[in-house]
Structure 1
Amino acid sequence: MGVMTALDEVLTAPAIIDAMRAADDLAFEAGREPAARTIRILQRVARGDDELAAIAATHALAGMLDEEASRVLVDLLADDREFERQHAAWALGSGLPRHEAVGALLRMVVAGGFTGMLAQRTLEQWSGFAPAPLVAGAEGGLLGIDDPAPRARLVETLGLVRDQLATAPLVRLASDPHEPEPVRIAAVAALGQRPDPAAVASTLETIAAAGGFLGAVARLALVDLGATGLIRRRGGSGATVAQLFLHADIDPGMRTAGAGDNGGIATLLVRLGDALVRDPETGVDRVITLSRGSVTGALDDLVSVEASERGHGYGRIPLLHEPVPAADAWPLRVATRRGIRRILRAAGGVDVLHLRMADVGSLAAADVARELGTPVVFTLAPDPHAVIDSLDRSGRLGRAGFGRADLAEHFWFRTRLVHRLAANAAHTVHFPRPRLEEDLRRLVGVDPASDAALRTIVPEGVDADAIDRAVAEAEAFRQGTGASPALDELRGLVDALAPERRGLPLILSVGRLHRVKGMASLVEAWASSSIASGANLLLVGGDLASPSDDEREQLDRIDALVPAAERAHLGLLLPGHRPNDVVARWLAGARLGVPGAVAPGGVYACASLKEEFGIALLEAMAAGLFVVAPDGGGPATYVDDGATGILTATWDVARLASALDEAVAAVRAEPDGRRAERSRAVVRERFTVQRMAEALGGVYRTVVRDEAGLLESAERAR
């Protein structure tokens, strides 16, 4: 193709996602032509106004493995644009160490954030080749910094140097009572993975004996220190599967569903893990669900995981940091990796690790899987590819401002992470989509025809039995023959509205308060449509007491549209998140009605910018609700447009408002309950969590079988 042809494809691509894919060809061609002219051209583009092309040129320079190209990347660390500095720090990690870049990268680590994570990752990749400059740089940096958080980041980076050079300063920092606690925590955690255990064991034992939070961290580090060598495999004929969602406090009762990042995936993993171990046909007799948690909880989990042989267990990953939204969690990469490794080793290894997200959890877990030789199953979806494409088509994302948008959304890194996870997976799982093959080719750049035997389409599923129980409870409550605390609570919420708002049907939506979920857009569409006077809007989700930045952004937008003082008069209900069982009863109540509060014939609305499948939508249909859903992604495979719901461009507020009007009118015109029963039947026949468990059980059995075959072949070849 040639560098100039490849560069022209980046510059003239009709869509952002096409240009991002063309950037891979540019990097490949630059690696084939590491000439001075190529470097000059790429340097000029990297400093140009087209931010998308600038990023592509930066990574193309990294692909050249050329001395002069590396010098250009080092110079870009001082670029006046933050996005360019960020990508230069990332790109440098693919080459040999550059001693003149260590200082700039350490300053990025000190500054923190996503850029700091990328800089730290590059330094870690270099540390095996040149430990001395990194140790000297980190120790020198500590001399001029008093702020605990930046000091802790430098100490964590020092701990990534596996050479014995780093051991003495880490022991000193861990033992110094005058150091701030965050600094000592970073040093203590790092001591658990030193190459010279004898030099640090007594220090950790002393700190552990002192108790407190630091002592608990030292106990975890002692576990890490002893967890070396071959993993002791447990017995049993069935497989052990680990599944991960880092950004939730996952528990069997799903009490925090809808708060922060505790969305549908957290609910799904609880239900799915239970279903996998309940059905002997899946071939899975142990599931370990990993999520964030406390240090003391992690210590307790290690004991239970090590002792377990069957069933659905939970392993908490201590992040040694207050919970943060997924988009801000990338700097927790090191703590996440240590926590995942610790649990998997305690479990005696696992047969399959199932990853689903392009996030720091999957980034860290993939590193651990590679280290332990654990096969990975990856759920491959066009995310964030579909979001990029949607924003591009709507005019809200362009080439000129792509770099600045990427600073917040990390689009480039996340798409590359998806590609890497998919390429290294033993098997990939896909959600059904109307144009799955086309989307995989156009958005992700994956040919579904290649390695077709290693790809399986698996729809997500819901617990239809739990929804049936909720519907039966709502029906009895409506008839006055049964009690329901959840519906009593819903009636109390509606009673707080203005008198004229009581007895109206509900438009209900359940999900995280996040811009991708479109909750504020739904409020805008409802408030601007004719149905606002005839239906109340109930949004379930969000931590209203301590909102995250993402939640606050949506709440601020909602307040601007419908001020808090006017909610009762206009019919907007924002109760915050509720447990999954309560939500199920509210869905049933929205359809069947709540005497004196809610009229029957409600509608469920999902205003997400993208919805890969839509657990909450399926739960709403299982309750018999008519739905409004995105016209792309998974919902278009199970919502019969015009019959069981309305598919629309949810990113367009005017079209969303029109769809709400149409949905309410359709339900009002229904002569009987046949449509509701049809919606329920679709879920029960095709989208239960039991069916999902059966399908994934087949995937896991295939991976375990293939892995055993590979090990046998390797043994015979020895």
Structure 2
Amino acid sequence: MGIQTTLDAVTTAPRIIDAMRLADDLAFEARRDPGVRTIRILARTIAGTDELTVIAAVHALAGVFDEEASQMLSRLLADDRAFVREHAAWALGQTLPRFDAVAPLLSLVTTGGFTGMLAQSTLEDWSGSIGDTLAVAIEAAMIGVADPAARTRLVETLGLVRQPIAEPCLLAFALDDREHEDVRVAAVAALGQRSGSVRVAERLATLVEGHGRIAEVARLAIIDLNVVPQPRRDGEGGLTVAQLFLHADIDPSLSSAGAGDNGGIATLLVRLGDALVADDIAADDTVGDNTTAVERVLTLSRGGVPRAAADLLSIGGGIGHVYGHVPLSPEPVPSAAAWPLRVTARRGIRRLLRAAGRVDVLHLRMADVGSLAAVDVAREMGIPVVFTVAPDPHSIIQSLDRTGDLTREAFGATDLREHFWFRTRLVQNLAANAAHTVLFPRPELERDMRELVGIDIASHPERHTIVAEGVDLGVVDRSVTAASAFATGDAGTAGFEELMAMLEELPEHRRGLPIIATVGRLHRVKGMATLVEVWADSGLSERANLLILGGDLATPSLDEREQLARIDAAVPPAERASRGLLMAGHRPNDVAARWLAAVRVGIPGWVAPHGVYVCASLKEEFGIALLEAMATGLLVVAPDAGGPATYVEDGVTGVLTATWDPASLTSATDRALSLADFNADERSQRSHDMVEARFTIQGMAAALGPVYRAVAASEAELLRATGALA
């Protein structure tokens, strides 16, 4: 098409998501025609005010293999616009190393954040050919840096230099008790990656004799030094499947569901892992002489250093559903801020997968730092990846574009916060390199994947499988039974004490109203604050009380604080009870299930039966909490796009609406309250039967089993073809 024609297409694209996809064409044209005029056109574009097109031009410039283009890209590291500096740091990773860019990139590393992570990644890519120069530059940079956090980032970057020159400096930092603990920890962790060095092993052994965090990390480093990767052997037992979500401390009891980033995905992974290894999911077909049942599921999440070390003992020989924890940082970090933990996450994931002995399939589900780190480990260890691909953040970009909250002119500022450009590219890369992709059901799945994500699932349908998520109906049914018993006066029924304590704080005139309930994380995407605002500012508050189940109210994260501030502005904390707002915080999964059941069956004198469940998410790719509410028998309000539109019958089992629009959300919730009493028993049974027929966790496991078996069989065939199997 030519550079100018392609640039015009990016500039005039009707939707932001279209322009982002067309940026790949711009980069292709720049590589195809790396002439002086191409460079001038891109330079003029980068100087412009359309921030979306500016970013596209920066990445296109990286594809021009020309000294002038490389110099220009290097100079952009000092641009006045922060988003340009960020994308230049990222784009340089696609070019040959430039010595004049090393110092500016190290400066960005010391600043930290997402930009620092991208700069560090570029330097890591370059270190293979200029490692000695990079190590010297880092040592020089350390002289002028006193801030412990900045020094820690520089030492971590030094640890990525594989050349021997880095080893003495890392040892010096690790052993220097005048250094900040974080700096020493970064050096110790990096030394664990330098196998074959007797001196490193001896020095780490002395650190293990101490106490505290440095000794704990030194123990893990010694483990890293001594791990001998287990060879893949054909014909040994069933399959091992690894899955991960690093933004939650996942435990089998799901005690922290709804706190921080610990949402529906944590619940799903626990239930799914159990179902995959259950006896009734065992495979009945074989590949050669191998059994192909899933014998072991390894679920990885975050956790402390001592716990991570203890996990290694159980992971290697355990079967069934086992858990491993990756030590990320002393304090929990929200997912949006976790990108700088890429190196730490990668080391922890590598350690666990090595300890597992053999992993046949790694299933990734999100475009986050966990997947970014895990895919590197999978590539290194030769583990095939299954990726659940969804239009995220594509759907959010589309919604914000539609409302006018995201514009081309201000795209760069938003991207600095949300990392939309990076996350969309990560989704595309994960999907393109996966051995198999799994997709959620959507009303227009093929169209959405093509237009939003840029994937044509019709071209190679054998590489894609549609799998619906599922819920544990046993938990739901037991909760409904318990709530019904409690409603009839069975005082011995457990799980309702704290709910009753909250209800007792309501004024007399609010007792006996139905409840609008919602369950989930306190995060902008989940729309919790929006729901409180529309409830408080409309007649909805006169018709029903509002129950918010989710969030860490005692020690909220940054995302939770933002939502709580909006909630407090709509309903001041001192007025919550008098106005009918019940802020319950996060609860164990089984407790939340019982409370939802109480919203349905009611509590005489306190809660009217036939309340409703409202999902106010900006987008919902599938909706585990929605399905749990429907299985409970609640009428639901749900987004009219994405997964919910495939299973909510509008006007029958729920109300579909544009949940991102406050007026539409208000109207839909009002309509739901009016519908909830109509044929309630019949409608509740219809919802329950639908979930039972289509969306159980056992059904999900049964659908994923053949995917894992096919991927493992294909990988085994590849290994046999290359002579890698003994």
Range into which the TM-score falls when normalised by the shorter chain:
over 0.9
The change in CA–CA distance for 1:659 and 1:717 in structure 2 (over 3 A counts) is closer
Residues 1:702 and 2:703 are matched in the alignment:
no
Q: Distance in 2 between matches of 1:232 and 1:169?
A: 36
1:278-311 C-alpha deviation (Å, 9 max, x unpaired): 0343420100000000000000001110121x20
The change in CA–CA distance for 1:195 and 1:297 in structure 2 (over 3 A counts) is closer
Structure 1 partner of 2:156: 156
Verify the 8 A CA contact 1:234 1:348 in the aligned structure 2.
no
Letter in 2 for 1:161: V
Residues 1:354 and 2:363 are matched in the alignment:
yes
Report the alpha carbon displacement of residue 228 of structure 1 after superposing the two structures with TM: 4.7
Q: Distance in 2 between matches of 1:386 and 1:259?
A: 24
The change in CA–CA distance for 1:538 and 1:525 in structure 2 (over 3 A counts) is same
Structure 1 partner of 2:307: 297
Query: Where in structure 2 are the equivalents of 1:307-318 lying within 5 Å?
Result: 307-308=317-318, 310-318=319-327
Structure 2 partner of 1:111: 111
Q: Distance in 2 between matches of 1:359 and 1:280?
A: 30
Verify the 8 A CA contact 2:600 2:611 in the aligned structure 1.
yes
Residues 1:549 and 2:558 are matched in the alignment:
yes
Structure 1 partner of 2:331: 322
* Residue of 626, 631, 636 corresponding to 1:622: 631
Report the alpha carbon displacement of residue 600 of structure 1 after superposing the two structures with TM: 0.5
Q: Distance in 2 between matches of 1:230 and 1:281?
A: 25
* Residue of 428, 451, 456 corresponding to 2:460: 451
Residues 1:665 and 2:674 are matched in the alignment:
yes
- Structure 1 length normalisation: TM-score? 0.98
Verify the 8 A CA contact 1:504 1:598 in the aligned structure 2.
yes
Structure 2 partner of 1:534: 543
Residues 1:601 and 2:610 are matched in the alignment:
yes
* Residue of 560, 581, 590 corresponding to 1:572: 581
Report the alpha carbon displacement of residue 229 of structure 1 after superposing the two structures with TM: 5.4
The change in CA–CA distance for 1:274 and 1:230 in structure 2 (over 3 A counts) is closer
Q: Distance in 1 between matches of 2:699 and 2:306?
A: 36
1:462-485 C-alpha deviation (Å, 9 max, x unpaired): 001110000011111111236333
1:649-707 C-alpha deviation (Å, 9 max, x unpaired): 00100110000110000013x14510010011110110000000000001001101111
Residues 1:56 and 2:48 are matched in the alignment:
no
Q: Distance in 1 between matches of 2:229 and 2:66?
A: 38
Letter in 2 for 1:71: Q
Verify the 8 A CA contact 2:230 2:354 in the aligned structure 1.
no
Query: Where in structure 2 are the equivalents of 1:455-604 lying within 5 Å?
Result: 455-481=464-490, 483-604=492-613
Structure 1 runs, 4 residues or longer, greater than 4 Å off: 232-235
Report the alpha carbon displacement of residue 199 of structure 1 after superposing the two structures with TM: 2.8
Letter in 2 for 1:510: V
Residues 1:655 and 2:671 are matched in the alignment:
no
Report the alpha carbon displacement of residue 595 of structure 1 after superposing the two structures with TM: 2.6
The change in CA–CA distance for 1:65 and 1:228 in structure 2 (over 3 A counts) is farther
Structure 1 partner of 2:26: 26
SS in 2 for 1:378: strand
Q: Distance in 2 between matches of 1:118 and 1:672?
A: 54
Report the alpha carbon displacement of residue 527 of structure 1 after superposing the two structures with TM: 1.8
Verify the 8 A CA contact 1:473 1:482 in the aligned structure 2.
no
1:529-557 C-alpha deviation (Å, 9 max, x unpaired): 32211200000110011111100000001
Q: Distance in 2 between matches of 1:233 and 1:305?
A: 18
Structure 1 partner of 2:188: 188
SS in 2 for 1:17: helix
Q: Distance in 2 between matches of 1:462 and 1:236?
A: 32
Q: Distance in 2 between matches of 1:142 and 1:91?
A: 25
Structure 1 partner of 2:434: 425
Structure 2 partner of 1:306: 316
* Residue of 437, 441, 447 corresponding to 2:446: 437
Report the alpha carbon displacement of residue 562 of structure 1 after superposing the two structures with TM: 1.1
Q: Which moved more, 1:400-409 or 1:68-77?
A: 68-77
Letter in 2 for 1:713: A
Report the alpha carbon displacement of residue 487 of structure 1 after superposing the two structures with TM: 1.8
Q: Distance in 1 between matches of 2:657 and 2:583?
A: 24
The change in CA–CA distance for 1:460 and 1:348 in structure 2 (over 3 A counts) is same
Report the alpha carbon displacement of residue 227 of structure 1 after superposing the two structures with TM: 2.2
Structure 2 partner of 1:123: 123
Structure 2 partner of 1:693: 701
- Aligned identity (percent) is 63
Letter in 2 for 1:356: R
Letter in 1 for 2:614: A
Q: Distance in 2 between matches of 1:280 and 1:249?
A: 26
Q: Distance in 2 between matches of 1:206 and 1:598?
A: 63
1:208-249 C-alpha deviation (Å, 9 max, x unpaired): 111321111001001111125554659743100000101001
Structure 2 partner of 1:67: 67
Report the alpha carbon displacement of residue 146 of structure 1 after superposing the two structures with TM: 1.6
SS in 2 for 1:242: strand
Verify the 8 A CA contact 2:620 2:639 in the aligned structure 1.
yes
Residues 1:415 and 2:424 are matched in the alignment:
yes
Letter in 1 for 2:576: R
Verify the 8 A CA contact 1:528 1:657 in the aligned structure 2.
no
Report the alpha carbon displacement of residue 424 of structure 1 after superposing the two structures with TM: 0.5
CA RMSD of aligned residues (A): 1.4
Structure 2 partner of 1:675: 683
Q: Which moved more, 1:49-58 or 1:595-604?
A: 595-604
Letter in 1 for 2:32: R
Report the alpha carbon displacement of residue 117 of structure 1 after superposing the two structures with TM: 0.2
Query: Where in structure 2 are the equivalents of 1:176-325 lying within 5 Å?
Result: 176-194=176-194, 196-228=196-228, 231=231, 236-278=236-278, 279-282=280-283, 283-308=293-318, 310-325=319-334
Letter in 1 for 2:463: L
1:371-413 C-alpha deviation (Å, 9 max, x unpaired): 0000000000000000000100111100000000000000000
Structure 2 partner of 1:93: 93
Q: Distance in 1 between matches of 2:81 and 2:210?
A: 47
Q: Distance in 2 between matches of 1:690 and 1:21?
A: 37
Structure 2 partner of 1:83: 83
1:123-160 C-alpha deviation (Å, 9 max, x unpaired): 00000010122111111111111211111100000000
Residues 1:684 and 2:692 are matched in the alignment:
yes
Letter in 2 for 1:288: L
Letter in 2 for 1:23: A
Report the alpha carbon displacement of residue 451 of structure 1 after superposing the two structures with TM: 1.7
Q: Distance in 1 between matches of 2:339 and 2:453?
A: 22
SS in 2 for 1:307: coil
Verify the 8 A CA contact 1:50 1:399 in the aligned structure 2.
yes
Q: Which moved more, 1:416-425 or 1:64-73?
A: 64-73
Q: Distance in 1 between matches of 2:75 and 2:261?
A: 38
Verify the 8 A CA contact 1:241 1:353 in the aligned structure 2.
yes
Q: Distance in 2 between matches of 1:371 and 1:209?
A: 32
Q: Distance in 1 between matches of 2:99 and 2:233?
A: 42
Q: Distance in 2 between matches of 1:44 and 1:483?
A: 74
Verify the 8 A CA contact 1:164 1:196 in the aligned structure 2.
no
Q: Distance in 2 between matches of 1:533 and 1:264?
A: 30
Letter in 1 for 2:27: A
Letter in 2 for 1:378: F
Report the alpha carbon displacement of residue 647 of structure 1 after superposing the two structures with TM: 0.2
Structure 1 partner of 2:290: none
Report the alpha carbon displacement of residue 31 of structure 1 after superposing the two structures with TM: 0.3
Report the alpha carbon displacement of residue 338 of structure 1 after superposing the two structures with TM: 0.2
Q: Distance in 1 between matches of 2:725 and 2:205?
A: 44
Letter in 2 for 1:522: L
Structure 2 partner of 1:16: 16
Q: Distance in 1 between matches of 2:348 and 2:567?
A: 38
- Where structure 2 has 5 or more consecutive residues not aligned to the other structure, the ranges are 284-292
Q: Distance in 1 between matches of 2:239 and 2:164?
A: 38
Q: Distance in 2 between matches of 1:706 and 1:497?
A: 60
Report the alpha carbon displacement of residue 525 of structure 1 after superposing the two structures with TM: 1.6
